[in-house]
Amino acid sequence: MSLRIAEIFGPTIQGEGALIGQPTVFIRAGGCDYRCSWCDSLHAVDNQYRHDWHAMEPEAIIAEVMRLTGGQPLTVSISGGNPAIQDFGSVIALGKANGYRFACETQGSIARPWFADLSLLVLSPKPPSSGQNTDWSAFDACLEAAKGTDTVMKIVIFDHHDLNFARNAAARYPALTLYLQPGNPETDPSLPVSAQSLSDRLLWLVEETVGKGWLAPRILPQLHVLIWGNKRGV
Ligand SMILES: C[S@@+](CC[C@H](N)C(=O)[O-])C[C@H]1O[C@@H](n2cnc3c(N)ncnc32)[C@H](O)[C@@H]1O
Ligand SMILES: Nc1nc2[nH]cc(C(=O)O)c2c(=O)[nH]1
Ligand code: SF4
Ligand SMILES: [Mg+2]
């Protein structure tokens, strides 16, 4: 069965969350059930870009990952769009047979049995600034499907409403390590990102969390945005 793939790129470094700095290859799935107002990957979300997506068999996907890495095993990052729309079970099985490991980023709106085959599941529920609503029973189903797999939560923060959302999510899921990253409002790939405004937003987030005595979350920038701005394929 073929999958809709927007892009496969790397090796690069994982720029966000628990695996930040680790060499990885990205498999970016095409299509999403959400439309976050600030999505930085619209080319993998919006139907207007679907003609640039490729229908690929699992064998071809893993062949491309192996070509990009020269066959060296690493942790592959499956992102999107929402990769949970599709069945990545065969891709993961084939990759693991060749020594690769898999991490996946999803908003937690659709649960999949193949979550149990990952080394890491990153659940990224969407705060109010996104304009999306979280169905917590679907989120719970994702956690259930990933039982036995390391799972973390990563939340994008633009404002105080988002911080309240993150506090509630943290209280609801105390066992999940929580990563917070500042939201990037400058997502046009044709425009540069200001390094000063990135560090201003990071400083604000540190002051509003650790600075006010909330010591549970880990605060990280989007490292790839610091390095490459909004460039695609990095
Ligand atoms: C593009 S999404 C794809 C995977 C999945 N749909 C999701 O949202 O988790 C990957 C990560 O990028 C984050 N992200 C998207 N747009 C962003 C922005 N403008 N600033 C900061 N993080 C952003 C998402 O919240 C998510 O954690
Ligand atoms: N280097 C790099 N790190 C990332 N971490 C999460 C990404 C994503 O778009 O899912 C991403 C991405 O697109 N590039
Ligand atoms: S859920 Fe992820 S890919 Fe989908 S619109 Fe939101 S940030 Fe973009
Ligand atoms: Mg991204």
Dump pLDDT digits (tens) for 92-123: 999 999 999 999 999 999 999 999 999 999 99
- pLDDT-above-70 percentage for the chain: 100
**What distance in angstroms lies between residue 24's CA and the mean position of ligand 1's atoms?**
17
Quote the number of domains for the chain.
1
CB 109 within 8 A of CB 126: no
**What distance in angstroms lies between residue 72's CA and the mean position of ligand 3's atoms?**
30
pLDDT, the chain, mean: 98
- pLDDT-above-90 percentage for the chain: 100
Residue type, 109: S
Give residue 25's pLDDT band: very low, low, confident or very high (50, 70, 90).
very high
**CATH number, domain at 37?**
3.20.20.70
Q: Domain for residue 233, yes or no?
A: no
**What distance in angstroms lies between residue 218's CA and the mean position of ligand 4's atoms?**
18
Q: Domain for residue 234, yes or no?
A: no
Q: Domain for residue 154, yes or no?
A: yes
Q: Is 125 annotated as a binding residue?
A: yes
Q: Domain for residue 146, yes or no?
A: yes
Q: What is the largest CA-CA distance in the chain?
A: 50
Give the integer Cα–Cα distance in Å for 17 and 152: 9
Mean pLDDT within 191-217: 97
Q: In which domain, by residue range, is 65 found?
A: 3-228
ipTM of this predicted structure: 0.99
Give residue 11's pLDDT band: very low, low, confident or very high (50, 70, 90).
very high
Give the integer Cα–Cα distance in Å for 105 and 154: 9
Ligand 2 pocket, residue 224 CB under 6 Å: yes
Residue nearest to atom 13 of ligand 2 (CA): 234
Task: Please name which ligand lies nearest the alpha carbon of 32.
Answer: 3
- Residue 79 pairs in a beta bridge with 28
Strand order in the sheet with 177-182: 54-56, 3-13, 23-29, 75-79, 101-106, 120-123, 150-157, 177-182, 218-219
CB 177 within 8 A of CB 124: no
Residue 19 tokens read as 């695996």
For residue 78, the SS3 value is strand
Residue nearest to atom 6 of ligand 2 (CA): 16
Q: What is the number of the ligand 1 atom nearest to the C-alpha of 39?
A: 16
What tens digit of pLDDT does each residue of 42-73 get? 999 999 999 999 999 999 999 999 999 999 99
Residue nearest to atom 8 of ligand 1 (CA): 107
User: In the prediction, which pLDDT does 176 show?
Assistant: 98
Residue nearest to atom 7 of ligand 3 (CA): 39
- Nearest Cα neighbor of 105 from 88, 124, 133, 91 is 124
CA 159 to each of CA 107, 165, 167, 188: distance values in angstroms, whole numbers, following the listed order? 19, 10, 13, 20
Q: Domain for residue 11, yes or no?
A: yes
Q: What is the DSSP letter of 44?
A: G
Q: Is 38 annotated as a binding residue?
A: yes
Q: Domain for residue 206, yes or no?
A: yes
User: In the prediction, which pLDDT does 175 show?
Assistant: 97
Task: Please name which ligand lies nearest the alpha carbon of 155.
Answer: 1
What tens digit of pLDDT does each residue of 178-190 get? 999 999 999 999 9
